Amino acid sequence: MRFLIVDDSKPDRELVIRRLKKEFSDAEYVEASHLNELEEAMASDDFDIVLTDYQLNWTNGLNILNRVKQQYPGIPVLMVTGTGSEEIAVEGLRSGLSNYILKSHLDQLPQAVHESLEKARLQKQYNEAILQLRHSEERYREIFEQGLTGIFVCTPEGTLLTCNTAFARILGFASEHEALQTDIHSLYPTTNDYETFLSRLAKEKRLEYYEVEMVRHDGAPVYVVENVVGDFDEDGQLTEIKGYIFDTTERRKLADQLQQAQRLESVGLLVSGIAHDFNNMLGGILGYASRGLNRITQSHPLYDNLNHIHEIGTRAAKMTHQLLAFSRRQVLEPTDVNLNYVVENLLNLVGKILADQIEIEFIPDPNLKTVHVDYAQIEQVLMNLCVNAHDAMPDGGKLTIKTCNVPYEEAYRKSRGQLAEAQYVLLTVQDSGIGMDEQTQSHIFEPFFTTKEIGKGTGLGLSMVHGIIGQHNGYIGVESALGKGTCFSIYLPTIEVPATEPGFDKDTLAVSQELVRGGDENILVVEDDPDLRCLIEEALTEYGYTVVSAADGSEGLKLFERRDPVFSLVVSDLVTPKMKGKELYDHIHLLSEQTKFLFISGYQANQISQNFVLDKGFAFLQKPFDLDELAARVREILG
């Protein structure tokens, strides 16, 4: 232990030290009789207590007290004096003096030192406890006020007692003060929802990960997970509710999007399989109807019937094309396109139809980047969106189409992480029509879902749009509200090459028989549908070709190997039993590099690699097709 004794009287210092040594024999005593010695002693804080006289020839004890307290506030100061008074003692105690002893009562000094040291020890513990408490409060306040978790305390009756900023933000309040003015009941969709919450809390005492829908201050739904604890009185009655909430609205939306995507994918797989078989049947219907029409005149009693059959079959074929677009099973023929060209060319058509009722505004980005897309498919997308906008504005309105370049970060954020890293072009189609509620928006891309009257629509338009955009590695989103119109946003990846303005006719027209030239080459037809196989064989035979047909790829390969001279052309379905079209091509190409191929198909599933056809530059016909068109393509390929 180390004492600092401040006194300008050497005899008095010796008396004090002699008395202390009886109690503190192992202690060290540092003496200061003038200012220099005090300054030297105060240069370190390695003493435990200061004893000072009041009346000094160069200062007084109160100044010594203030000096020590300023420099070392935790070290106790005890005044030992023979000239003091009660006023001095009171003033010293008020200033932080730990004790006051007269030199005439030095026998009380050891006890006074013990009391001063104990008081200092307790004060130090108290100060440390206060500091820890303050730090704890600061940490709690930081968590409470700045955390992302909403914290609240309320009564069972619904009175909100306290809450933090996050709670107010999650539920749409401008501040905690505004939130505290609200009854908890109003934050639940119905009173019954709140009563169910109270009943369950009263029964279970605490709720963990309790998922519930709440209502924001502006009326919008918000999905949260609650963790709450109830306080109960001696009778077991709920008196207070404490808890916190996590906002899971975004996660809920992502989960709903995933579920919808999985549902659409499942339906797409089913639809593509149905469309494939249906296209084969339609090919037979249209083919035989066309052959019948070519064999009779318009005055024939069966002409009108056959013509109606052909028209109905054609409409059915268009529907299967829509189904294939929805299921992303079409073969694309992409080119390097500037979307401004697509919009401008289409508006020349739809503008004449919509202009009487609807104001159309096109805002193109003059520096729009190029996209690699199927021109006809993107035009079909835009046409569908324009028609939908027209239907949403029965009394007229404004249709705004806009294009612009967007960075990857924006596209990624808007698509909720569904897009690959690239630069994107954004095409928006916005109307001022009747709009849609959230429930309708969640279903608009599903096949056969429609808000139109029965007989007014198939419900395939937007599902086809969704499929086409997805097949182009893009994203389509929708924003809408009842009475506030609808905006569709389409993101397509860009490429760093200049676009070429298309100048071709994209409508598929039937080729009249008298314009088609036949030939005498050998042709192998590989088709698993017997009716369509027979029809193709008959039609090509009538054009003068020598035709041999097979029901699958394996049989077709055997026929090719036995044929002499070799076949000039193979007309093959891409999907046949035992051997797919690509495998058949690989085998035949090894036997004869001169043999040409024309692939046909009702759909292109992912497993057959639709890009194989286009990447290799093969001719392709989508089922169902016109027989004269088939003959024209055959002649074109053979040269």
DSSP string, 557-578: HHHHHH-SSPPSEEEEESS-SS
Nearest CA to 40 out of 4, 2, 81 is that of: 4
**Between these two residues, 505 and 279, which has the higher pLDDT value?**
279
Strands 424-431, 486-495: parallel, antiparallel or unpaired by DSSP?
Answer: antiparallel
Strands 206-215, 221-232: parallel, antiparallel or unpaired by DSSP?
Answer: antiparallel
Q: What is the pLDDT of residue 94?
A: 87
**Structural domain includes residue 140:** no
How is residue 172 written in tokens?
A: 């749409």
For residues 418 and 254, give the distance between their C-alpha atoms in angstroms, rounded to a whole number: 11
Residue 301 and residue 375 in one domain: no
**Structural domain includes residue 606:** yes
Residue 39 and residue 84 in one domain: yes
Region at 113 (left for phi over 0; alpha for psi -120 to 50; beta for the rest): alpha
Residue 341 and residue 405 in one domain: yes
522 forms bridges with which residues in the sheet?
A: 546
**Structural domain includes residue 39:** yes
Report whether pLDDT(245) > 50: yes
**Structural domain includes residue 194:** yes
Strands 424-431, 370-373: parallel, antiparallel or unpaired by DSSP?
Answer: unpaired
**Least confident interval from 11-15, 136-140, 243-247, 376-380:** 136-140
Q: How far apart are the first and last CA of the chain?
A: 114
Residue 238 and residue 269 in one domain: no
Residue 598 and residue 470 in one domain: no
Residue 210 and residue 305 in one domain: no
CATH number, domain containing residue 303: 1.10.287.130
- 439, 469, 495 - which closes a domain: 495
Q: What is the pLDDT of residue 321?
A: 62
Residue 450 and residue 546 in one domain: no
Q: 28 by DSSP, 3-state: which?
A: strand
For residues 39 and 62, give the distance between their C-alpha atoms in angstroms, rounded to a whole number: 16
Nearest CA to 411 out of 342, 525, 493 is that of: 493
For residues 603 and 606, give the distance between their C-alpha atoms in angstroms, rounded to a whole number: 10
Q: What is the pLDDT of residue 327?
A: 47
Report whether pLDDT(520) > 70: yes
97 forms bridges with which residues in the sheet?
A: none
- Given a contact cutoff of 8 angstroms between Cβ atoms, the answer to whether 136 and 149 are in contact is no
pLDDT band at 281 (very low <50, low <70, confident <90, very high): confident
Q: What is the pLDDT of residue 339?
A: 92
Residue 198 and residue 301 in one domain: no
- 216, 247, 278 - which closes a domain: 247
Residue 235 and residue 264 in one domain: no
Nearest CA to 393 out of 358, 428, 360 is that of: 358
Question: How many structural domains are present in the chain?
Answer: 5
CATH number, domain containing residue 79: 3.40.50.2300
How is residue 587 written in tokens?
A: 């085998």
For residues 113 and 98, give the distance between their C-alpha atoms in angstroms, rounded to a whole number: 9
- 326, 343, 374 - which closes a domain: 326
- Given a contact cutoff of 8 angstroms between Cβ atoms, the answer to whether 573 and 279 are in contact is no
- Given a contact cutoff of 8 angstroms between Cβ atoms, the answer to whether 465 and 483 are in contact is no
CATH number, domain containing residue 184: 3.30.450.20
Q: 635 by DSSP, 3-state: which?
A: helix
523 forms bridges with which residues in the sheet?
A: 547, 569
Residue 13 and residue 63 in one domain: yes
**Structural domain includes residue 508:** no
**Structural domain includes residue 402:** yes
Q: What is the pLDDT of residue 473?
A: 87
Report whether pLDDT(325) > 80: no
**Structural domain includes residue 139:** no
Dihedral (C-alpha) 323, 324, 326, 330: value to the nearest 10 degrees?
-160
Residue 528 and residue 477 in one domain: no
Q: What is the pLDDT of residue 155?
A: 93
Distance of CA 574 to the CA centre of its chain: 38
Angle at 320 between CA 318 and CA 326, to 5 degrees: 110
Q: What is the pLDDT of residue 407?
A: 92
For residues 268 and 284, give the distance between their C-alpha atoms in angstroms, rounded to a whole number: 24
How is residue 106 written in tokens?
A: 């030095």
**Structural domain includes residue 205:** yes
Domain that holds residue 319: 258-326
Q: Could you tell me what percent of the chain has a pLDDT over 90?
A: 30
| Helix axis angle, 530-542 to 627-638, nearest 10° | 60
Residue 342 and residue 470 in one domain: yes
CATH number, domain containing residue 367: 3.30.565.10
pLDDT band at 493 (very low <50, low <70, confident <90, very high): very high
The residue type found at 479 is E
**Least confident interval from 440-454, 468-482, 490-504:** 440-454
Q: What is the pLDDT of residue 448?
A: 54
